[in-house]
Amino acid sequence: MSLNIPESGYTDHHTHPSSRCRILTECDARAASTWDEARELIAAHIAANPNRDLYVVHGWNQSTWGTPAAADLDALTKKEIIVINVSYHGAVTRKGIVTEKDYEELAIATLPRYDDLLVAIPKYHAYLSSLGVVAAHDMHLATMDQVDAYRELDRRGELAIDTTAFVNPCLLDDPRFLAVIASEAKQSPSSHFRLAGLKLFLDGAIGVRTAFVSEPYLDTHDHGMLRHSKDECVALIRKSLALGLAVPAIHAIGDAAVSTVLDVYEELKAQGHDTRGWRIEHCEMVRPSDIPRIAALGAVPVMQPNFHWDLDHYGDRLGENLRLINPFRPLIDAGIKILFGSDGMPEGPKVGIEYAMSRARFPEQAIALEEALTAYGITGLD
């Protein structure tokens, strides 16, 4: 069977339109390969937007930029400035590096507000549409402005992309969110927005060395971090399930984090819950011994083949454990359904297909075109 790569029809199963849309009005320095290049882009952005009180920069990569010091930021502006890591799990401010929970709080506090989202989300959707994306899973709604903006755009018929959303646990106790959940059952079948489940961040990212790994990083000699205990995860998921958020999605990058997700899901399965279809976001480093556990649970790894662009920067910290990253072939051979998303790094299913098929770090992990298309939600092609 021969297949041509379709121009459209893809689902990006892990992306962030309602938060990454901020990049449309903030400083996009992701193309900079050195701090000198980034500094020029930032300076031009500041010059073009002199009246802002806060400047947010996207694209800091410690492996290529180094870490900007307070003096570097002072030389650019005396106003508040945040330089976000390419992983979106850390940032540099004048006070230094912030990661994980501290970074999450900073990012949420500076997200676009409701009126801005009504403009920015459709623009970001138009960009995704230009890449062939027809459906997206927005993996981290953390404010009611995001929830309300999506619902209003859906009501107006202005969502160009079908959106399935997963929410931060901070919303589970918000009376406004609970009212939305109660009204979701009354939504029209033609709705293009739905709330599907809880999103938990169990660990961080390899780029800022906060991914939770079983063997210590070679350069820092620590194991990263676990942001929630097993018991905390179980309690939060039970709470979300009781609200009708049926599909938990847990971020796990490091192999020890992936194992912990499986511990959590096995505990809930033992309590009588059906874990089929429950998600492991990224599921990036996977121990071979955990593959049968994923299969037995019916859990779904939601993976990013496009992350391979950054692997050349990981040898100094992971060594031979690079081989644990993105084992698409072993997972599929074990009968496990995998889904692909971009996490916006970069967007575009065709980029992911290229990495999954022909640019895999280790050729034995590469998959066929049909398998890659299936992971992007396209099936039944001749």
pLDDT in tens, 11-32: 999 999 999 999 999 999 999 9
Strand partners, 280: 250, 301
Split at pLDDT 50, 70, 90, the class of 2 is: very low
CA distance 289 to 278: 19
Residue 66 belongs to domain with CATH number = 3.10.310.70
Measured between alpha carbons, how far is 28 from 44 in angstroms, rounded to an integer? Answer: 11
91 φψ region: left (φ > 0), alpha (ψ -120 to 50), beta (else): beta
Q: Are residues 59 and 98 in the same domain?
A: yes
Count of domains for the chain: 2
- What is the per-residue pLDDT across 42-99, written as a single tens digit (0 to 9) for each? 999 999 999 999 999 999 999 899 999 999 999 999 999 999 999 999 999 999 999 9
Mean pLDDT of 332-342: 98
Q: Are residues 148 and 79 in the same domain?
A: no
Q: 93 has which bridge partners? A: 96
pLDDT, tens digit, for every residue of 164-194? 999 999 999 999 999 999 887 656 666 999 9
Q: What is the dihedral of CA 288, 290, 295, 296, to 10 degrees?
A: 140
Using the 3D structure, point to which of 54, 74, 109 is the last residue of a domain.
109
pLDDT of residue 1: 37
Q: Which domain holds residue 341?
A: 133-375
The CA–CA distances, whole Å, from 40 to 14, 108, 126, 324 equal: 31, 27, 28, 37
| Average pLDDT estimate for 124-136 | 97
Any domain includes 382: no
Q: What are the strands of the beta sheet with 279-282, ordered from one edge? A: 10-15, 133-141, 162-167, 193-201, 249-252, 279-282, 300-303, 339-340
Do residue 208 and residue 71 come from a single domain? no
Decide if pLDDT at 145 tops 60. yes
pLDDT at 36: 97
Q: What percent of the chain has pLDDT over 90?
A: 88
- Domain end position, chosen among 109, 125, 154: 109
Query: Which tens digit of pLDDT belongs to each residue from 365-380?
Result: 889 999 999 999 997 6
Tell me, what DSSP letter sits at residue 104? H
**pLDDT for res 360:** 67
| 57 and 139 within one domain | no
Domain shared by 160 and 270, yes or no:
yes
319-323: long-range contacts at Cβ-Cβ below 8 A with a sequence spacing of 24 or more? 319/218, 321/213, 321/215, 321/255, 321/285, 322/361, 323/362
At 229-259, the pLDDT tens digits run: 999 999 999 999 999 999 999 999 999 999 9
Contacts of 312 (CB under 8 A, 6+ apart): none
95 and 53 together in one domain: yes
Whether residue 78 sits in one domain with residue 138: no
Q: What is the CATH number of the domain that holds 325?
A: 3.20.20.140
Whole-angstrom Cα distance, residue 30 to residue 59? 4
Report the pLDDT value the prediction gives residue 249, as an integer from 0 to 100: 98
Write out pLDDT tens, residues 199-214.
Answer: 999 999 999 999 999 9
Q: 199 and 72 in one domain?
A: no
Radius of gyration over every alpha carbon of the chain, rounded to an integer in angstroms: 20
